[in-house]
């Protein structure tokens, strides 16, 4: 199981702030999780239509699509942040 958190416009498009999701066999990275979410339903397809516009953190550490996932991880998805 992984705890998935959604922030900002991703939360709005997904229609939820978080969910607990079993990691299916073959979903071993952040990129694999994004692909699963894209294919799962219309909300995920819309939220992750442009994966380059989504940032991720695993267990509160910035992550890339190649970052490995393990059972029990917390994965947060959020838009890019700019400062000024």
In a domain, 84, yes or no: no
The whole domain housing 69 covers 2-78
83 in a structural domain: no
37 is written with which tokens? Answer: 């979410």
Number of domains comprising the chain: 1
* Residue 7 belongs to a domain: yes
Q: At 35, which CATH number? A: 3.10.20.30
Query: Is the separation of the CB atoms in 22 and 68 below 8 Å?
Result: no
Which tens digits make up the pLDDT trace of 4-61?
Answer: 999 999 999 999 999 999 999 999 999 999 999 999 999 999 999 999 999 999 999 9
pTM, 2 dp:
0.92
For residue range 45-69, list pLDDT tens digits in order: 999 999 999 999 999 999 999 999 9
Q: Is residue 64 part of a domain?
A: yes
Max distance between CA atoms of the chain, in angstroms, equals 42
């Amino acid at each position: 199981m992984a705890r998935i958190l959604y922030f900002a416009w991703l939360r709005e498009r997904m229609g939820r702030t978080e969910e607990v999701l079993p990691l299916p066999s073959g979903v071993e990275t952040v990129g694999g999780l994004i692909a699963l979410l894209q294919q799962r339903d219309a909300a995920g397809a819309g939220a992750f239509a442009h994966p380059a516009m989504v940032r991720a953190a695993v267990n509160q550490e910035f992550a890339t699509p190649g970052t490995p996932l393990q059972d029990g991880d917390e994965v947060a998805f959020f838009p890019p942040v700019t400062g000024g």
